[in-house]
Structure 1
Amino acid sequence: MSGNALTNAESEPGGFARFVSGRKSKWVVLVLWIILLAGLGPLAGKINDVQKNDIGAWLPKSADSTKEVVQEQKFQPPIFPGLVVFQRDGGLTDDDKKIVDGLKAKLTDPANATFKDKKNPTVDEKKTWAYKFSTVVASGVQEIPAPKSLAVLNIPIDPGTAGWNKLGDVVTAINDEIGTPPAGLKVHVTGAAGNAADSMKSFKKVDGALTYVTFGVVILILLLAYRSPVLWILPIFSVAFAYTGASGMVYLLAKHAGLTVNGWSAFVLPVLAVGAGVDYAMLILARYREELRRYEDRHEAMAHAIHRAGPAVFASSATVAVSMLCLLLAEMNSTKGLGPVSAVAVGFSLIAMTTLFPALLVILGRWVFWPVKPSFGSVEPTASGVWARMGRRVAKRPRAVWVGTTLILAVCAVGLSSLKLHPLNGAESFTDKPDSVVGAQILQDNGLGGTGNPIYVTMNRAARDEVAGKIQSVPGIVTGSVTPPQGLPDVKDGIGLLQATTTAPSDSPAGRDTAMAVRAAVHSVPGADAHVGGWAAMAKDSATAASHDDKTLIPVILLVVFVILALLLRAVLAPLLLMLTVVLSFGASLGISALMFHGPFGLGGEDNSFPLIVFVFLVALGVDYNIFLMTRIREEAVRNGTRRGALIGLAATGGVITWAGLVLASTFGVLGTLTITFAAELGFAVALGVLLDTLIVRSVLVTALTLDIGKRMWWPSKLSSAPEPDGGTLEAARAADDGVLVS
């Protein structure tokens, strides 16, 4: 230990801590990161190239609708139906019909394209037009019979390897081709393709905002916390390295190791990389600043900071990563794919913040804290700060505090009964009314709610006629709609394919019930090996899988997190109590959220997968702050007793945990600006839960429990039965002055 340390009551840092903060090895760390980024950086921008947003990337493999898709692909690729709705009150005019016929002619035969505003189109313009509509299945473009005030074009789209982005391109191209319609004619693009295009528009609008707002909040918080105009650059720089490295690694795993990356997991990647990375950076930075007051040599100070804060950071990242990897057990492929991507994001954040970030800090020296530099031998300000005063207030009546807080959170959790879990229909999927929702409502108002999203049924060829009869006998199927899809062969590889239109919208409860009735009917045909798919059946299968995942994964994640905490704290009682507080916080935040969703926000419901995703984020991330607090309390308990250690731990970590929580809450809160219901609800619920964890659960509930229970928190470890120092009694903790932190 350094000879000018203010205390020698601690173990020496190990080789890792010495390496990342060494006088020479810090430069090695920086060079290694530059080499790593040189390799992964160019790949990071290619992550969209490996996204899989086809049906197989979302549905459970065992679902009947998934089996239907596999068989249907013998006939046609996975199709996203796009419906173009033309409407004029009082009936369409001849000019209106010319617009409809013209678009249909262009899409079925590009040779009919006129290439607007050009008398002599060039080859390049022709290629551009052909590219825009290259994924339209020309043989399936048809006009659907409709009332005289409407014309409806069904435009099936195969997004192919281009994915959902191509759907958006086609929808944009359709609107461009139509141009500005004549006065009184309304044109809307709806159907699955229209919904997907509107979703992408919302994500694209927030992509930049998410990055800018997140980094802006981090900068502001670091400025407020450390009052330095330059310090914020290092966490931002390190987080950017972590995100770039994680994106490049995800690309490699998707390209060569079979990792499934969809639009949702790709969107969550930066949220977790930035949120978790900043959390870890702030904890290490706070501990480094504290150690700089105890060690004159900044390299020695950083070695001790990593040595003492490292276990909490490693345990925190392990909790998040392992919790996310538990999602591999999910039936829903969309949920399953989220796990590894999230684990990679957290893993790179951990590596960057425990290697690159410390190396940069010691390379630059104390001046980065300017103008409030932590000088050797100065008093640690947290010892008499806000959280030190909060601890003394809680210490006056800890049992009353934790009982009262528990009751309040339990009352908030009653709001869970307000959750409305079901597959969201098109209108419910958005917080506003985009073009696709308006178009779908027009179709529904005119009795065409099931148009464009038929039920598909595959079966053994020999049983096709009997299966067709069974389908037509089901109430809710439009008479005469049971036919082979237009432009496709009747039979392929011994498999038959039929489609049927429902009277109810396919995304409505009635539409899903009809699909299930069709499934029951065709499964009764002996030897048919029939499978039922289509959007209604997929929604029902997804809801069933999501409910299964809730019941399976939540207990598994709780058990995994408990084991990690038990190993970290070398106790059973403390981890058990921490898990209970996190579950209580989850229930309260979800309960409050449900009341807000169906009250002031006026939302229609929550997707069936919503509780599990919120649970994963809140438990994994919420436990973080308890880990940061409890590891410090245990460290101090060895020297000062558990109750006095609780006050010291809260005082020392209170500020950094609060700021870190605000960063994470703000990061997820940006999701609330999306017009996609699932993302907006997720952002609100997670942000609220993080704030509850940082401001109430960690600072009030956990502290009060520790003060009340004392050293028994560490049962059955030796610390629970060892004689405590004078500060171990509750009376001593209450009487402790607010001066210097005991070290």
Structure 2
Amino acid sequence: MAHIIRRLSVPILLFWVGLAVLTNVAVPKLEDVGKAHNVALIAPDAPSMQAMKRIGKVFREFDSDSAAMIVLESDKPLGADAHRYYDTLIQRLSQDTKHVQHVQNFWGDPLTAAGSQSTDGKAAYVQVYLAGNQGEALSIASVDAVRDIVAQTPPPPGIKAYVTGAAPLIADQFQVGSKGTVKVTAITFLVIAVMLFIVYRSVVTTILVLLTVLIQLAAARGVVAFLGNSGIIGLSTYSTNLLTLLAIAAGTDYAIFVLGRYHEARHGGQDREAAFYTMFRGTAHVVLGSGLTIVGAVYCLTFTRLPYFQTLGVPAAIGILVALAASLTLAPAVLTLGSHFGLFEPKRAMRIRGWRRIGTAIVRWPGPILAVTCAVALVGLLALPGYQTSYDIRPYMPATAPANVGYTAAERHFSPARLNPELLMIETDHDMRNPADMIVLDRVARGVFHIPGIAQVQSITRPLGTPIDHSSVPFQVSMQSVGQVMNLSYQQDRAADLLRQADELGKTIAILQRQYALQQELAAATHAETQSFHERLSRVS
């Protein structure tokens, strides 16, 4: 193998240069491919994802988990001009059916407007459900489309519009990450160049090693970009960033292995050819074993459930395999060509006394040194009990990111979690639009509100986030007795009148009874006179 590489050093160099150039010219840039073929952040079988899609399906509103918030802010209470601007935005958003699936227009309805407006009246928001799951290329394109609509719709004086929320924050993270990759890569190469110059004291050696690493990096990125652009593997911003850093680290590490072993052989008195073979025999298996270890480690990420962890595995493994192949072929080929011109000759004598002392100490006291080394390595575990996993990316994003600017504006008027609502759907086998079920729904909302960490609950029984005025059962019962209480004095007066009427009726009855007695006496007298008259008449006749 070493003999073949030494003989074919020129074709090998040309092959790797050609591969790097071809894959980077004929294929779009790795970051662009990653953006175009980005995967979702959440696993499709996650309970939250399934619940989100179920809610969207039942209400026939959306089929993804991407949502954006458009926040309107003013330095004074929002008026009619703000509502007209809001209505224009809603109309234009609704027309973009490719990127916008549903607009939750609460502020446009007087019945629900207060639920999406701040208490000071200076801010309002609208939730927009977008096409594509969070992190996917379609979701990022949908965020860009919404931002374009907002940018192309000038607001009235004194009013500002912000596009924020979970999906825009993810889109900003990808953009910031892509921009940061260039800076990190440049700083990494600068640090490597300084380190190589300090160690080897040769500008030529430093430049050649950097060029070798650069060719390896370009080839690895190009191959992964080709596979991603062909749809063979999935990509994400995380995988492109990690691949770049891993390829640089592996390429530099293995180049130092090759060059360091070659210098050792040259210091041992071997000629250039013998030193080359000594180098290859002493480093090839080490480089191969180290590279395959890294490949296996990163490939294990494919067994994770989160898609953006899964996409780290295959691209990073392929990139490291390309860098490994280049380290076993390109680096020795460059060393062969450079050694013909004396470019890789050591510039100073090797200082091995310190390393010899370290090796002697390890052989003499292996147990104590192992214990101390393990203790130092385990220091990091001291912080593990207090570690808490967090998926909140806002603290790691610059304050100037558009989504962060929108969050900051919203938090001046709303509670911190107002723009990241959690959805809870209650599904039954019957129509719940009846008084009994409304009471049940209100009890559920009240129970959810009392859970620690819940700031507000909006539901059909609480459209404004608070219980509807005069909607509680005690209030309804008390309201039923209000009329009776107000009529109590009137009823008491009428009762007194009835008592007086009863007294008058008693007097009238007494008079009638007296009249009846007198009439009875009169009837008796009349009867007696009648008998007397009949007696007289009989005597006369």
**What's the TM-score, normalizing by structure 1?**
0.51
Q: CA deviation at 1:233?
A: 2.7
The residue that corresponds to 1:149 in the other structure is 122
- Identify unmatched segments of 5+ residues in structure 1: 1-15, 110-132, 484-499, 505-743
Structure 2 partner of 1:341: 315
The whole-number CA distance in structure 2 between the counterparts of 1:53 and 1:238 is 29
Which of 284, 287, 308 is 1:313 aligned to? 287
Q: Which residue does 1:103 correspond to in 2?
A: 89
**CA deviation vs aligned residue, 1:202-239 (integer Å, no higher than 9, x gap):** 21431220221111112111111111112223333233
Please name the residue that 2:141 is paired with: 166
Task: Sort the Cα spacing of 1:139 and 1:340 in 2 relative to 1 into closer, same or farther, 3 A.
Answer: closer
SS of 1:382's equivalent? Answer: coil
Give yes or no for contact 1:443–1:449 (8 Å, CA) kept in 2.
no
| Whole-Å separation in 1 of the counterparts to 2:383 and 2:238 | 27
Deviation sequence 1:607-648 (CA, Å, 0-9, x none): xxxxxxxxxxxxxxxxxxxxxxxxxxxxxxxxxxxxxxxxxx
CA separation of 1:72 and 1:337: change in aligned 2, threshold 3 A: farther
Structure-1 residue corresponding to 2:9: 26
Shift of residue 261, structure 1, vs aligned partner: 1.4
Query: In structure 2, what is the Cα distance between the partners aligned to 1:502 and 1:59?
Result: 31
**1:704-719 pair list within 5 angstroms:** none
Cα deviations across residues 441-496 of structure 1 (Å, max 9, x unaligned)? 6656535834564527697xx8475799887735337777469xxxxxxxxxxxxx
Q: Which residue of 2 aligns with 1:288?
A: 262
**How far apart are the structure 2 equivalents of 1:157 and 1:230?**
54
The 2-side partners of 1:410 and 1:103 are apart by 56
Task: Report the CA distance between 1:141 and its aligned residue.
Answer: 6.2
Counterparts of 1:267 and 1:465, CA distance in 2:
51
In terms of mean alpha carbon deviation, does 60-69 or 344-353 score higher? Answer: 60-69
1:128-147 → structure 2 map (5 Å cutoff) = 135-137=98-100, 140=103, 142=105, 144=107, 145-147=116-118
1:230 corresponds to which of 188, 194, 204: 204
Per-residue CA distance 1:3-48 (angstroms, 9 max, x = gap): xxxxxxxxxxxxx1221122xx112312332453455333552545
Counterpart of 2:423 in structure 1 is 455
Query: Following superposition of structure 1 onto structure 2, how do residues 557-568 of structure 1 map, counting pairs within 5 Å?
Result: none
* Letter paired with 1:82: A
Are positions 1:476 and 2:451 aligned together?
Answer: no
Q: Report matched runs for 1:278-677 at 5 Å.
A: 278-294=252-268, 297-365=271-339, 367=341, 369=343, 373-374=345-346, 381-384=350-353, 386-391=354-359, 399-424=367-392, 427-428=394-395, 430=397, 432=399, 434-437=401-404, 439-440=406-407, 443=410, 446=414, 449-451=417-419, 453-455=421-423, 463=429, 465=431, 473=444, 475-476=447-448, 481=459
Question: Structure 1 residues 421 and 189 mapped into 2: Cα distance closer, same or farther (>3 Å)?
Answer: same
The 2-side partners of 1:454 and 1:191 are apart by 13
Contact 1:85 1:150 in 2 (8 A): yes
Tell me: CA distance 1:142–1:235, structure 2 relative to 1, closer, same or farther (3 Å).
farther
Task: Indicate the residue corresponding to 2:176 in structure 1.
Answer: 202
- Aligned partner of 2:237 in structure 1 is 263
Match of 1:64 in 2: 47
Q: 1:214–1:340: structure 2 CA closer, same or farther, 3 Å change rule?
A: same
Which AA in structure 2 matches 1:190? T
Residue 356 of structure 1 and its aligned partner are, at CA, apart by 1.2
Alpha-carbon offset, residue 276 of structure 1 = 1.2
1:75-116 per-residue CA deviation (whole Å, 9 max, x = no partner) reads: 54525222121223541244444443443344334xxxxxxx
Letter aligned with residue 351 of structure 1: A
Relative to structure 1, is the Cα distance of residues 482 and 273 closer, same or farther in structure 2, using a 3 angstrom cutoff? farther
Residue 417 of structure 1 aligns with an amino acid whose one-letter code is P
In angstroms, what is the RMSD of aligned CA positions? 4.1
* Cα distance in 2, alignment partners of residues 503 and 99 from structure 1: 25
Deviation readout 1:523-545 (Å, 9 max, x if unpaired): xxxxxxxxxxxxxxxxxxxxxxx
Mapped to 1, the partners of 2:381 and 2:76 lie a distance apart of 52
Q: Using a 3 Å threshold, how does the CA distance of structure 1 residues 411 and 338 change in structure 2: closer, same or farther? A: closer
Equivalent position amino acid for 2:166 in 1: A
SS of alignment partner, residue 205 of structure 2: coil
- How far apart, in 2, do the equivalents of 1:33 and 1:146 lie? 61
Q: Are residues 258 and 72 of structure 1, via their aligned partners in 2, closer, same or farther at CA, if it must alter by over 3 Å?
A: farther
* 1:26 partner letter: S
SS of the counterpart of 2:204? coil
Whole-Å separation in 2 of the counterparts to 1:49 and 1:312: 35
Q: Is the 8 A contact 2:73 2:123 kept in 1?
A: yes
Kindly tell me: are residues 419 and 189 of structure 1, through their superposed partners in 2, closer, same or farther at Cα, counting changes over 3 Å?
Answer: same
Cα shift at 1:69: 5.9
Alignment-derived partner of residue 623 in structure 1: none
Query: How much has 1:280 moved relative to structure 2?
Result: 0.9
Scaled by the length of structure 2, the TM-score of the pair is: 0.68
Q: For residues 178 and 383 of structure 1, do their structure 2 counterparts lie closer, same or farther at Cα, with a shift above 3 Å needed?
A: same
- Equivalent residue for 2:510? none
Q: Secondary structure at the match of 1:322?
A: helix
CA shift at 1:438, angstroms?
5.1
Aligned residue pairs, count? 438
Identity over the aligned pairs, expressed in percent?
22
Aligned to 1:78: 64
Change (3 A) 1:55 1:278: closer
Asked if structure 2 preserves the Cα contact closer than 8 Å seen for 1:215 and 1:236, the reply is yes
Partner of 2:191: 217
After superposition, the Cα gap between the structure-2 partners of 1:480 and 1:188, relative to the gap in structure 1 and judged at 3 Å, is closer
Letter in 2 for 1:57: A
d(CA) in 1 for partners of 2:256, 2:310: 30
Does the aligned pair in 1 maintain the 2:81–2:156 contact within 8 Å?
no
In structure 1, distance between residues paired with 2:391 and 2:307: 16
Name the counterpart of 2:502.
Answer: none
The SS at the match of 2:203 is: coil
Kindly tell me: are residues 310 and 209 of structure 1, through their superposed partners in 2, closer, same or farther at Cα, counting changes over 3 Å? same
CA deviation digits over 1:622-678, x for unaligned, max 9?
xxxxxxxxxxxxxxxxxxxxxxxxxxxxxxxxxxxxxxxxxxxxxxxxxxxxxxxxx
Letter in 2 for 1:17: A
The separation in 1 between residues aligned to 2:64 and 2:216, in whole angstroms, is 36
Alignment-mate amino acid for residue 46 of structure 2: A
Deviations 1:569-613 (A, max 9, x none): xxxxxxxxxxxxxxxxxxxxxxxxxxxxxxxxxxxxxxxxxxxxx
Q: Which amino acid aligns with 1:152?
A: Y
Taking the aligned partners of 1:162 and 1:413, their CA distance within structure 2 comes to 38
CA contact (8 A) 1:239 1:277 kept: yes
Cα distance between partner residues in 1 of 2:84 and 2:377:
63
Kept in 1, the 8 Å contact 2:228–2:235? The answer is: yes
Aligned partners of 2:65 and 2:37: how far apart in 1?
A: 9
**Aligned residue in 1 for 2:506:** none
* Counterpart for residue 686 of structure 1: none
